[in-house]
Amino acid sequence: MKTLMLLVGLLMTWEHGQVLGAPAVSEQELQEMSTEGSKYVNKEIKNAFKEVKHIKSLIDHTNDERKSLLLNLEEAKKKKEDALTDTRDTEMKLKASQEVCNDTMMALWEECKPCLKQTCMKFYARVCRSSSGLVGHQLEEFLNQSSPFYLWMNGDRIDSLLENDRQQTHVLDSMEDRFQKGSLFEFPMMEFPEENNDNRTICKEIRHNSTGCLKMKDQCAKCQEILSVDCSGSNPTQNLLREELNSSLELAEKLSRQYEELLRSYQQKMLNTSALIKQLNEQFSWVSQLANLTQSEDQDYALHVTTVASHSSDPSVPSGFRKVILTLFNSDPITVNIPEEVSVHNPKFMETVAKKALLEYRQNAQEK
């Protein structure tokens, strides 16, 4: 009977944090520890709410700027598309008079093509650093099917504008789609060509449709002669149409560059907004979980210590450490180990306990 009573006594003291060979941690001491730990946790909560409020204000601000930029983009897109429409209309009018000066142009074209092919292949092998065999065959077919009239009215510049317009639309749609789905968080900075004559852009155009080669027409004398052919004697209106085309081309190219600058700014603003949202989710999701706790779930203490034990009373505790079991808010029991040299009466003891417990609570909240 005495042995049984002794075992009961040991179990009772164990539940209260009894350390063999040392006085038990009393209920009063556990309560005082909970009070001290709760002070630290409440201070951290206040700081976290301040930071959340600050980040949310930044998100609202950058999001307002993003929306304003989007309106500017829509206006710029309308101007750019109107200029493209004017360019295409003038192009169609010129195509309708294509037969004018055709003999002169065709003779020059036959001398222009070999020079253009050789110049382009040298550029591709040197700058694009890729085999030019397939590209050369593709280019020869392209030149044989093309008309000198295409060169004369800057068809390559028109095609580049249309391709840029398609790419810009794709980039904007892709960004908007990712942003709405909440995945901007992962996408890398999208690449834009620096200029219409950027080497990377030319290499891409040569690989895809050979029009990039026409950008080298200035290096071939016979190709230059095609550009300077004057057909106004046969058809006075044609020269006016060509001047009108060049003017509309310059305007469309200018508006396209302006649109691309806005698109870059919009992309950066969207990335900034997404980065702030990501920071809010990663660092402060635990705060939103606390805000969702109902009043009935609130406890007297944010942190409640239930057990304190050492290695001598619990072999599972690492030697030289003291184990503290506690609950934080509505959490499952959390266990932290504190070096024994930090006395339970040291003011830093519960601060260290609370800091470790709060870190674990935040990590668990993030995983959920």
DSSP one-letter code for 334: E
More confident residue, 208 or 348: 348
Residue 368 has pLDDT above 80, yes or no: no
Mean pLDDT over 326-338 rounds to 91
Tell me: the pLDDT tens digits for 89-136?
988 888 776 665 778 888 999 999 999 989 988 888 888 876 667 777
> Alpha-carbon distance 324 to 333, whole Å?
10
**pLDDT reported for residue 19:** 39
Q: Provide the pLDDT for residue 99.
A: 61
Evaluate if residue 294 carries a pLDDT over 60. Answer: no
Question: What's the mean pLDDT in 175-186?
Answer: 69
pLDDT at residue 137 greater than cutoff 90 = no
Residue 200 has pLDDT above 90, yes or no: no
Token duo for residue 168: 């810009």
Across 30-39, 136-145, 166-175, 227-236, least confident range: 227-236
Provide the pLDDT for residue 5.
35
CB 321 within 8 A of CB 339: yes
Torsion of CA 56, 57, 59, 62, to 10 degrees: 180
- Residue 16: the pLDDT is 40
Question: 304 pLDDT exceeds 90?
Answer: yes
In this prediction, residue 196 carries a pLDDT of: 41
Closest-CA residue to 150 (of 113, 203, 193) = 113
Portion of the chain with pLDDT greater than 70, in percent: 83
Q: Is the dihedral of CA 346, 351, 357, 359 positive or negative?
A: negative
Whether the pLDDT of residue 41 is over 50: the answer is yes
Q: What is the rounded average pLDDT of the residues 192-216?
A: 70
pLDDT score recorded for residue 24 = 60
| pLDDT value of position 129 | 74
